[in-house]
Amino acid sequence: MSEERWLSHSAHWGAFSAAWQGEALTVRPHPQDPDPNPLIENFPAALRHRARVRQPMVRRGWLERGPGPDERRGCDDFVAMPWPEVLDRVAAELRRVQQAHGAQALFGGSYGWSSAGRFHHAQSQVHRFLNTALGGYVRSVYSYSAGASAAILPHILGSLEDVARRNVTWEQIVEHSEVVLAFGGMALRNMRVASGGISRHIERESMRQAAERGCRFINISPLRPDLPEEARAEWWAPQPGTDTALMLGLVHTLVAEGLHDRAFLRDFCDGWPVFEDYLMGRADGQPKTAAWAAALCGLDAGRIAALARSLPGKRVLVVVAHALQRAEHGEQPVWMGAVLAAVLGQIGLPGGGYAYALGTMAHYGKRANAVAGAALPQGTNGVDAFIPVARIADMLLHPGESFDYDGQRLAYPHIRLVYWAGGNPLHHHQDINRLREALWRLDTLVVHESAWTATARHADIVLPCTMTLEREDIGAAPTDPLMVAMHRIAEPVGEARDDYEIFADLAERLGRRAAFTEGRTAREWLVHLYEMTRAALQARGDEAPDFETFWARGELLLPQHPDDGGMLRAFREDPAGHPLPTPSGRVQISSPVIAGFGYADCPGHPAWLARADVPDARHPLFLVANQPATRLHSQLDFGGHSQSAKHRGREVCRLHPADARSRGIADGDIVRLFNHRGACLAAARVTEEVMAGVVQLPTGAWYDPEDPAARSPMCVHGNPNMLTRDVGTSSLGQGCSGQLTAVQVERWAGELPPIRAYDPPVPV
Ligand SMILES: Nc1nc2c(c(=O)[nH]1)N[C@H]1C(S)=C(S)[C@@H](COP(=O)(O)OP(=O)(O)OC[C@H]3O[C@@H](n4cnc5c(=O)[nH]c(N)nc54)[C@H](O)[C@@H]3O)O[C@H]1N2
Ligand SMILES: Nc1nc2c(c(=O)[nH]1)N[C@H]1C(S)=C(S)[C@@H](COP(=O)(O)OP(=O)(O)OC[C@H]3O[C@@H](n4cnc5c(=O)[nH]c(N)nc54)[C@H](O)[C@@H]3O)O[C@H]1N2
Ligand SMILES: [Mo]
């Protein structure tokens, strides 16, 4: 590549450009980004890192004994194989499984964030391939991000899209909000990331301006830094998992003192009396008073009541982070947050009401684009069977068994082959030891990866794919006006190929090349996808340069919708003309539909439900396993920025001085976190920024088993999913509940095992 030529590109963490200075790759953020995300600094060292996959590899046991269940998945040798031969074998195995068991034996959910480019979006590629070449696959629905909320929100307000993406904006907060109650905080590290890429990170400055105007931010979280300094927030730290109780205590105070907005509840809501019976204790003999809540939350009752009394008459915004619903009974705080906002009569007002998930991602709090960006069509799936995304291990371990989901009774299909591209289940799934056992049951696991992740190591066939810097694409997010021409910055490493090329050659072997490619090269697809956006621009009479002009300029500014408050504002202004898409057309304070499902773990109104997975004498601390500040999930954990934050090679966990002292742990010590599911090492940071009783370890440190052949090996690096519990949030959502669990922590006095997670297997 030529020297010092800055080429535009984009990542989930922002638009940037890159140039070569001699042998060194340099990146710099988009010049108009007011608060760039430092995650772009993971790229330079990652590009040619030893952890990259450089050639196709096949697991020795699969090669020697053929497809079938195998406990050596994850500890076996690998054999290098030339592309033509490995593609022949993958195609033959896909055909075998499809002919013997049908397409319903192929799991292609392939959850994961992959990269920002919209054509090379790996999940879309794999879905399109399985649909066009094999007739379909078992899919997964919803996300690890928001499994519980995506299921419950349509029952009570509307779709997750409408509630999270077109609602209260940062512009409205700057201008109107007087109180922001942030349950789960609004962590700067999180809200500067969005799938497809964001070019302008405005969140920090928006909070600064709002706080300066006098807006009161309240950070309700076990971690003080979950709101940035600019917000000048008060910090409330209830016991993790008790937010629903706290909200009930606030609402009880409002109702008991006649401070609730009766007119709003009457004119815009449905089902208040059923909930009120529960709230006041008429149903169960327990009024949900501030004192009742205080005992559960570990807070002061007077402080809860005073907070409640301070809210009426103010423009109040209730925010509930995704994190709160990534837990047992995660549906409840999502629902109760809407009820709190309704009781205050704030839903639909500028800068007020309910902004679920605002502050968890850069998509939220923004205006929506008025034209659609590029997206690869995925074709038609001929298989009906699906799972809620986080039920993957259950599916593999219990084929044929039935389970509850959102009012339906479904059965787990019997999967023989799993195809993954663009995700890392051995990062994202809970209880890694259990997931490993589930993967052992398969006939075949095929993985496309750019790096030797734990998922690649557990595969039977690993196909090396390019990373984003090694190919051209279009970067576009539905909530950011900048469409970015993502130029190729580097040649592919080793024998790596684009997912698209790999699938095209596999489709060829299955006699379906034309159906998959429609005769287009990757560049021709970019032009084709771009033309769709261009046609939409032309239809509006907007500037619509041709592809070559866009490509040379490096970017195109798209028009956006006005900041109109979306569905909730329209409903408030005209409830008859713009009813909510709920059974009553109103906010469902209680739901006869959900009540009709008869779920003990998700009743017909929001409720405080005691949790099973809480600290006890043997595991007395809460583990908060949240998002990492220095990378996106597990991606580029081997990059410079992520590595710079490790200590003695380990991921850093944070705990309170009191908890450290009682365990003889000093700042910088290596510790072992454990419970009855598993164990991992980490480095301890002792800090008052974490509430007592909580240890926080972010996700994303690559799983690094001390002995990969052991049944439940310790991770020597710091992956919290060794410890988390693999259960659905409830029968309704069946979402991921990986955010919280119970653990013990002790000082590690043993020898420090080496980190081997980034060492590629040596082919035999
Ligand atoms: N305990 C606990 N667990 C959690 C969470 C939690 O809060 N606590 N959070 C959950 C959440 S919200 C999420 S979204 C998930 C995230 O889980 P994932 O989305 O699976 O995590 P990533 O690390 O982003 O995985 C993306 C993978 O795609 C690969 N990749 C990138 N580009 C390409 C490409 O072009 N082609 C191919 N083939 N591969 C590519 C990367 O190398 C990487 O391995 O984790 C979940 N797990
Ligand atoms: N840098 C970076 N940014 C990211 C990501 C990343 O991997 N890295 N991932 C992106 C993705 S895919 C998603 S889905 C979002 C995730 O957005 P979230 O799920 O909201 O993010 P988390 O960091 O997991 O959790 C936010 C905070 O919730 C608090 N919390 C945990 N449990 C409780 C509780 O019971 N009560 C209260 N009140 N607070 C609690 C924790 O202190 C935690 O820091 O972030 C996105 N942004
Ligand atoms: Mo997520």
The 10 Å Cβ neighbour count of residue 213 is: 13
Residue 624 Cβ < 6 Å to ligand 2: yes
**Which residues of the chain carry a pLDDT beneath 50?**
1-2
- Which residue's C-alpha comes closest to atom 11 of ligand 2? 145
Q: Compute CA 531 distance to the chain's CA centroid, rounded to the nearest angstrom.
A: 30
Question: What pLDDT score was predicted for residue 344?
Answer: 98
DSSP state, 167? S
Atom of ligand 1 nearest to the CA of 113: 19
The 10 Å Cβ neighbour count of residue 291 is: 16
Atom of ligand 1 nearest to the CA of 721: 1
pLDDT digits (tens, 9 = 90+) for 497-551: 999 999 999 999 999 999 999 999 999 999 999 999 999 999 999 999 999 999 9
113 given a catalytic annotation: yes
Residue 326 Cβ < 6 Å to ligand 1: yes
450 CB-near residues (< 8 Å, 6+ apart): 52, 53, 464, 465, 466, 467, 496
Atom of ligand 2 nearest to the CA of 113: 12
How many angstroms is it from 133 CA to the middle of ligand 2? 38
- Please name which of 193, 151, 246, 187 lies closest in space to residue 733, comparing C-alpha atoms: 151
By the 8 A CB rule, do 752 and 648 touch? yes
278 given a catalytic annotation: no
How many angstroms is it from 145 CA to the middle of ligand 3? 3
- Which residue's C-alpha comes closest to atom 25 of ligand 2? 323
Q: Which ligand minimizes its atom distance to the CA of 389?
A: 1
Atom of ligand 1 nearest to the CA of 146: 12
Residue 497 Cβ < 6 Å to ligand 1: no
582 CB-near residues (< 8 Å, 6+ apart): 154, 155, 156, 157, 158, 270, 588
Atom of ligand 1 nearest to the CA of 120: 35
Integer Cα distance of 531 and 647 in angstroms: 48
The kind and range of the H/E element at 216 are: strand 216-220
The token pair that represents 432 in the structure block = 């890694």
Residue 744 Cβ < 6 Å to ligand 2: no
Question: What pLDDT score was predicted for residue 203?
Answer: 97
Residue 121 Cβ < 6 Å to ligand 1: no
pLDDT digits (tens, 9 = 90+) for 420-443: 999 999 999 999 999 999 999 999
Integer Cα distance of 533 and 284 in angstroms: 56
Residue 360 Cβ < 6 Å to ligand 2: yes
Q: Which ligand minimizes its atom distance to the CA of 198?
A: 2
Query: Any idea what the Cα angle at residue 432 is, between residues 426 and 438, rounded to 5°?
Result: 90
pLDDT digits (tens, 9 = 90+) for 336-369: 999 999 999 999 999 999 999 999 999 999 999 9
Partners of residue 218 on adjacent β-strands = 181, 234
Residue 10 Cβ < 6 Å to ligand 2: no
How many angstroms is it from 578 CA to the middle of ligand 1? 37
Residue 221 Cβ < 6 Å to ligand 2: yes
How many angstroms is it from 690 CA to the middle of ligand 3? 22
Catalytic residue among 13, 62, 111, 292: 111
Q: Which ligand minimizes its atom distance to the CA of 501?
A: 1
